[in-house]
Amino acid sequence: MRYAYIRANSATWPIRRLCDLLEVHPSGYYAWRKQPHSARANENQHLTGLIKQFLLGHAKLESTVRYLGIEVDDALELAEQTEV
C-alpha cells in the first residue's frame, strides 16, 4: 500500500522524499515496481477495462437516444419488450 501511494504521488513529490516520509527504503520501492503483476492484478485490470468500455458504451447510447428525442425510460421499456 505504501509503494502504491509513492507511485501515485511520484509526479508531485520526489520518490526519495516519499520513501523517507513513509519509512521505506527506496530500493524496496524500485524492486516492487519491477515485479510482474500477479494473475489477479492482471484479471482486475482486464475487468476494469471491460467495465469502462461498458460504461462508455452506455453513455454513448444514452446520448444517442436523447439526440433522437426519445426519453431514456421509454427506450429502456422498448428494449425490454423487444426479443432478441
Statement to judge: residues 29 and 44 lie in one domain: no
How many CA atoms lie within 13 Å of 34's alpha carbon, on the beta-carbon side? 6
Statement to judge: residues 77 and 43 lie in one domain: yes
Q: Which amino acid, one-letter code, is at 41? A: A
Statement to judge: residues 19 and 47 lie in one domain: no
**Cα 33 to Cα 29: distance, rounded to the nearest angstrom:** 6
Statement to judge: residues 30 and 48 lie in one domain: no
Statement to judge: residues 27 and 43 lie in one domain: no
Over residues 1-29, mean pLDDT: 95
Statement to judge: residues 24 and 44 lie in one domain: no
18 pLDDT band, cuts 50/70/90, is very high
**Cα 51 to Cα 70: distance, rounded to the nearest angstrom:** 25
**Tally of structural domains, the chain:** 2
Statement to judge: residues 26 and 46 lie in one domain: no
Check whether 84 has a pLDDT greater than 60.
no
Residue-number span of the structural domain to which 65 is assigned: 39-81
Statement to judge: residues 49 and 73 lie in one domain: yes
Over residues 9-27, mean pLDDT: 95
Distances (CA, A) of 46 to 41, 42, 57: 9, 6, 17
Over residues 46-58, mean pLDDT: 78
pLDDT at 83: 58
